[in-house]
Amino acid sequence: YRADQYIVNFGLLPNLEVIGRLANIEDKNRPYTHWHGQWVVRDLSASFKYQIPLYHPYLPKIAIGVQDLGGQADHYDAKYIVATKQLGFLRASVGYGIDSINLLDGAFGSMELKATDWLTLMGEYDSSDLQAGIRLNTPNYLSDYVDLSLLAKANLTDDSQRFSFGVNLKMELGDDHYSASPIALSTNYQSKPLVLADKASTKDNKALYDLKDKLVAVGLENIDIADRGETIYVAYENNVFDHNELDALGMVLGEMAALELPYKKFEVVIKRSNQKVKKISGDLQAYKKFLFDLDQGSLLAFKNSLQVSAPEFWDSELDIKGANPSYLKTRIIAYPGLKTFVGTEVGVLDYLVSLRIGAHWNLYKGFDLTFFGDIPAFRSDDLKAGGAYAYAYEGKKIKSLLLHRSDTYKDFINIASIGMLGDYYAFMDNLTYSHQNHTLSLKYTYLETKEKKWLVGYDYKLRQRRDIYYATYSYYYDRFDTLFQGTVGKYLNDDKGFELMAKRFFGDTAVGFFYQNADENYIGIRFEIPLTPRKIKDTFVQLKGRKNFTYSLRTTVQDEDGRNTLEPGGLIKPYREFDIESDFLNRNRLSQDYIKKHLFRLRDVYMRYRR
C-alpha cells in the first residue's frame, strides 16, 4: 500500500488560499480492477482556506476551509474550522471537521515545538489517528525568499499507515520591485536649479538630441521627441524590457530627470508596431524629486500628477521623428512547449515537451509578420504509437505563419491577421477597447482546412470550416493587484460556454483560478511566468524568450455519474502569438491605477540599470 500526494498552495487574494491536490494511491494486495494489474485511485481536487480577518494579540488566528470542492467522487471531502495560536517557540492548533468519509470527521488538533530555527518537533491528532514527527527547515540566515523543509511522521495508532515522508518548498512567486527605501546617489550627481527656457531657445539646444541618444542607447525604438513649451513630448516603442512596460517607462522618465531638461511637465506615448497605444503625462519636476530626493511629499506630488489617457491620433510638429526604427529587425523567440495529462486513469503524469521557436518582423508601421514552429523533444510512452494519447503527438509542425495589420484610434486597438494556423488557412480579428481599469475584447477566427484528412484514432474527417468567436471583459482591481475576467462565446470544437477567472499578479508572475462551463464544468489553475531576461540588448537580430509563458491545469467537476472524468477538448481557443492584451496592453497592465500602485518600479529600473 502506497499513497503519493502532490499539493500546490498559493495565496490568490488576501486571506484566501487555493489548494490543488493530485493523489495517487496504489494497493498491490487488492485484486486487479483496472490499470497495471492493481487497484488504483487517482484524483485531482481543489480546496480553499480562508483566514477570518480578526486580529488581536490575545486571540488565535481562525480559518475555515473546504476540501475537494465539486463532483460526487470526493476522496478528500471535508469542511472544517481551525484556530491557531503561537506563543514564543510553541504553536498549537485545534479544530473541528465534518465529512462523509471519516477523513477529517470530528475534533482534531496539533502542537509544534520549535527547538531551533531549523528543527521543529510535532504531534497531531487528525480525528482518527495520533501521529508524531519532525520537520527540518532551511535556516533563516540562508534565504529570505525560499524555504525548503523535510517532514517525517510516524502513525502511533494504525500500523497499516506506519510512516509518511514529505518535502515542501515555499517561495515568493515574483519580485514586485516595490522597495521604498531611498537609494544613494552617485557622488557625481549635483542637483541644479530649474531654469525654464522658451521654445525657440530650446530648439537650438542640443538637450533634445542628448535625450534621443540616451534612449537609443537604452535600446528603445521609433523614438519621437517634441518641444511643446513647458511640456516635453516623447513617444517610443519598447522591445528590450520584456517583463513589463513600466521598466521602459521608468528608463525614459529617469533619463529626462537626469538630463536636467528645462520642462515642467512630460507627455510620454507608448507604441507598438509604431502605432500609438497609451499616453502617460505628469509633472517632470515632481518625478525628478521622487527619483533623486525621495520622501513622502515627492511621492504624493508625482502620484497626484500622473494621468493615463488615449493618445492623440495625429502627430503635431516633431523635433525628432522615428529614431532607431524597428523595421525588419529579426526577433527570434524560443521557449518550451508543454502538453500534459495529469492524474488520469492511464497514469500520474503523461507529457510532451517540445521547443517552440519562431520569429517576428515589423515590416512597416502597423504591419507585422510572425512565424512559429514546434519541434518535439521528449514524450512519455502513452504519447507514442499505440499509447492512450498518441493522437496528441503531431511531430514537427508549423504552428502559425501570419501577417498582422494593427490599427489604433484613441482607446480602440484592432489587429487583423491572415495566414496559416496549424492545418488551417486562417483569418483572425481582434478588436479591443481599453479605458482605465476596463478592457473589452472581441475576437473572431475563421478557419478552413487545407485538405481533407483523417485524424488518427477517430472515425470522422476534419471539418472544412470553423467559426470561433468570443468576447472578454476584464477589470483590474489595484488593491489586490488582480485581474477579474469573464469570457463567453463559441470555441474551437463548436462548444459554447463561458469562463470566469481571477488572476493575481505577483510582480510579473501571475496565478489564476478559473471556472469554465460548456458541455462540461471545469475548474483549474493557470500560471503565467516570464521566461526571458528582464532586459535584453537591442541588436538587429534579437534572441528572447516568452514574456508570459502559460501553463494550465484543470479538471472536470460534477459529472452525472459521480466521477471527475477528464474531457480535454472543451473551451479551446485558437492560440494568438501576436495579441493585443499581451503585446499592446502589457498583459492588461497599462491603467492609471496599475502604474500608480507600482511607482517604485519606475525608480527601481533606472537605479538598477543606469545609476
**DSSP letter for each residue of 169-185:** EEE-S-------S--PP
Q: What is the mean pLDDT of the chain?
A: 87
Q: Rounded to 5 degrees, what angle do the CA atoms 67, 72, 74 make?
A: 35
Say what the pTM is: 0.87
Residue 239 · residue 203 · CB < 8 Å: no
CA-wise closest residue to 308 among 285, 278, 288, 270: 278
Mean pLDDT lowest among 175-179, 239-243, 345-349, 402-406: 175-179
Which residues sit opposite 555 in a β-bridge? 523
Residue reference for cell 507529457? 351
Cell readout for 5 is 500526494
Residue 232 confidence (pLDDT) above 90? yes
Cell of 417: 491577421
Number of residues in the chain: 611
Which residue is it, cell 535625450?
Answer: 211
Q: For position 562, what pLDDT does the model report?
A: 55
Closest by CA to 361, choosing from 420, 401, 407, 419, is: 401
Helix axes 207-218, 245-258, angle to 10 degrees: 150
User: How much is the pLDDT for 452?
Assistant: 57
CB count in 10 Å sphere of residue 532? 20
Where do the DSSP E strands lie in 346-396? Answer: 349-364, 367-379
Check residue 210 and give its pLDDT.
94
pLDDT in tens, 62-104: 999 999 876 555 678 899 999 999 999 999 999 999 987 777 8
Q: Is residue 186 predicted with pLDDT exceeding 70?
A: no
pLDDT single digits (tens) 79-88: 999 999 999 9
pLDDT exceeding 70 applies to what percent of the chain?
88
pLDDT at 178: 62
Mean pLDDT of the 152-173 span: 90
Overall average pLDDT of the 310-328 stretch? 91
Alpha-carbon gap, residue 279 to 435, rounded angstroms: 12
Q: Percentage of the chain surpassing pLDDT 90?
A: 65
Nearest residue to 219 via CA among 324, 296, 363: 324
| Packed helices 599-609 and 284-292: angle between N→C axes, nearest 10 degrees | 60
Residue 373: pLDDT band (50, 70, 90) is very high
CA separation for the pair 35, 198 (Å, rounded): 82
pLDDT of residue 383 exceeding 90, the answer is yes
CA 535-552-512 angle, 5° bins: 75
Query: Residues 304, 306, 307, 313: is their CA dihedral positive or negative?
Result: positive
Q: Residue type at 358?
A: G
Largest CA distance in the chain: 92
Q: How many CB atoms lie within 10 A of CB 585?
A: 23
H or E segment to which residue 485 belongs = strand 482-490
What CA–CA distance (Å, rounded) separates 236 from 253? 12
The SS3 assignment for 384 reads: coil
Compute the distance between CA of residue 315 and CA of residue 257 in angstroms, rounded to an integer: 24
Distance CA 21, CA 165 (A): 16
What is the Cα Rg of the chain in Å? 28
Least confidently predicted of 303-317, 440-454, 569-583: 440-454
Q: How far apart are CA 12 and CA 395, in angstroms?
A: 37
List all residues 6 or more positions away from 138 whose beta carbon is below 8 Å from its beta carbon. Answer: 118, 146, 147, 148, 149
